[in-house]
Structure 1
Amino acid sequence: MSTTTNALPDWSPEAVVFDCDGTLMDTESHWQDARNQVFRGFGIRPAPGFAERAKGVHYIDCGRLMAQEADKPRLAEEMTDALLHHFMARVADDPVTMPGAAEFVRRLSGRLPLAVASNCPLEVVEASLDRAGLLGHFGHIVVPDEEGHRAGNEEPVRPKPWPDVYATAARLCGAAPRRALAVEDSMTGIESARRAGLRVVGVGPYPGSEDAVRADLWVPALHAPSLTAWVESWPARGARG
């Protein structure tokens, strides 16, 4: 199902910023496997609905959430480290792109600036995209600052749902946020992009009208005919007003 809420097909972007997990790379199952391994390793049974609550959440925040739900907040750092370790092992074994993602990125590559805005660690994003043959198509990859690690007096780049990763990616691409398009699969990411001022294409199973209207366009996958037709209608970059 494809839906539009803000006449997006009458508009074209000056840059496109992609989420990584669940949008470009099929890694949501890897995160779920990693969370399950951590829970099992600590002898904890997750509460119902935890996977959905954790979707799109920065891994450090996810580790905290896991510890809180287990009523063991003192284990947050240890669970976070274990979560990242298990996830990176799964990605190394199975780097798979989402349906239509590789073709969609290659269709846009060279037509306008492309970037990635992710809640994952930089090394995970770069390794995943590199193994999928997509890394070279992106001019910029923006991820949240690790806690306590940033240069000088620069403002921290906070994780989604804060707007920072999308606002920074649009700026690095040379586009005002209102002229940039975000491509996202999670409500956390959609909130981040909208707070930054970007238009949004939501990708994945139709979430229901209440959530779908938070995106300007919702498509089931990046090879959806409606999305392909819209992209092909974009003017050449030099012809943009």
Structure 2
Amino acid sequence: MTTTTHDLLDWAPEAVVFDCDGTLMDSERHWQEARNRAFREYGLQPPPAFAERAKGLHYEDCGRLMARSVHKPELTEDLTAAVLDHFLALVTDDPVTMPGASRLVRLLSERLPLAVASNCPRVVVEGSLERAGLRARFQHIVVPDPGDGVRPKPYPDVYTVAARLCGVRPHRALAVEDSLTGVEAARRAGLRVVGVGPRPQGDGAARADLWLPALHAPELLIWAQSLDSSEPTPEP
């Protein structure tokens, strides 16, 4: 059940967990270009509306989807490797934060423990945040790790682990996401969710408690500043 805008922004979480790509870092465009380059590398064309289908997926899931969408399952490993290689080159050359990311992270890090829960490889997340001057603001970074049984979004694992590392129960933490894949993962983990960015088509965005156009939305910044004097709300 979704809360109203007033209800969510009247609530004081005990930790905030951010997605990285497309939420903190303006790197979703790099993923899209990396997918396009990988397709072209193998003489293929992206299917219609593929970018929306791939948004938020772990790169290995994306590679499988790419191969399946063009009926070339034998290219799964090649396309997966190509899309990651192209992305790493693009994000290294052009790391840019999303509008409002630095200010919101700074405000919240002075008040609450923060973590990142991302489908990207750790080297990408840490490198991007370091170059953006945000790495020190986050106590924990959680990414998929098959060795530890941490599965990628839309499984809830990265959010479950992030909340635990922050020392809070999932329902006392807030997730900040830009994709329906990420929203689903956070909801399944038990976190409340703010979606940011262009509102997805269809009714999937209703899975978030609140959807705002950007991290610098005035109501979000006012809420973050108000946490100075907020007391955590009682356990339900």
Q: TM-score per shorter chain, which class?
A: over 0.9
Contact map agreement 1:7 1:216 (CA 8 A) in 2: no
Matched, 1:76 2:69: no
CA distance in 2 between partners of 1:93 and 1:226 (Å): 33
SS at match of 2:216: coil
CA distance in 2 between partners of 1:25 and 1:75 (Å): 29
Give the 5 Å matches for 1:200-215.
200-207=193-200, 210-215=203-208
The answer for the alignment partner of 1:7 in structure 2 is 7
The answer for the alignment partner of 1:65 in structure 2 is 65
The answer for the alignment partner of 1:223 in structure 2 is 216
Q: State the 4+ residue runs in structure 1 displaced beyond 3 angstroms.
A: 3-6
The answer for the alignment partner of 1:24 in structure 2 is 24
Matched, 1:47 2:22: no
CA distance in 1 between partners of 2:187 and 2:171 (Å): 10
CA distance in 1 between partners of 2:156 and 2:218 (Å): 30
The answer for the alignment partner of 1:135 in structure 2 is 135
The CA RMSD measured in Å over matched residues stands at 1.7
Matched, 1:189 2:187: no
CA distance in 1 between partners of 2:223 and 2:214 (Å): 14
State the Cα distance separating 1:232 from its structure 2 match. Answer: 2.1
| TM-score, length of structure 1 as denominator length | 0.91
SS at match of 1:17: strand
State the Cα distance separating 1:5 from its structure 2 match. Answer: 5.8
Q: Map Cα deviations across residues 81-115 of structure 1 (whole Å, 9 max, x no partner).
A: 11110000000100000000011101111311000
Gaps of 5+ in 1: none
State the Cα distance separating 1:208 from its structure 2 match. Answer: 5.2
Contact map agreement 2:115 2:138 (CA 8 A) in 1: yes
State the Cα distance separating 1:181 from its structure 2 match. Answer: 0.3
Contact map agreement 1:5 1:215 (CA 8 A) in 2: no
Contact map agreement 2:180 2:205 (CA 8 A) in 1: no
Read off the aligned partner of 1:85 and give its amino acid letter: D
CA distance in 1 between partners of 2:200 and 2:128 (Å): 26
Q: Map Cα deviations across residues 169-207 of structure 1 (whole Å, 9 max, x no partner).
A: 000000100000000000000000000000000001233
Gaps of 5+ in 2: none
Indicate the larger mover: 208-217 or 110-119.
208-217
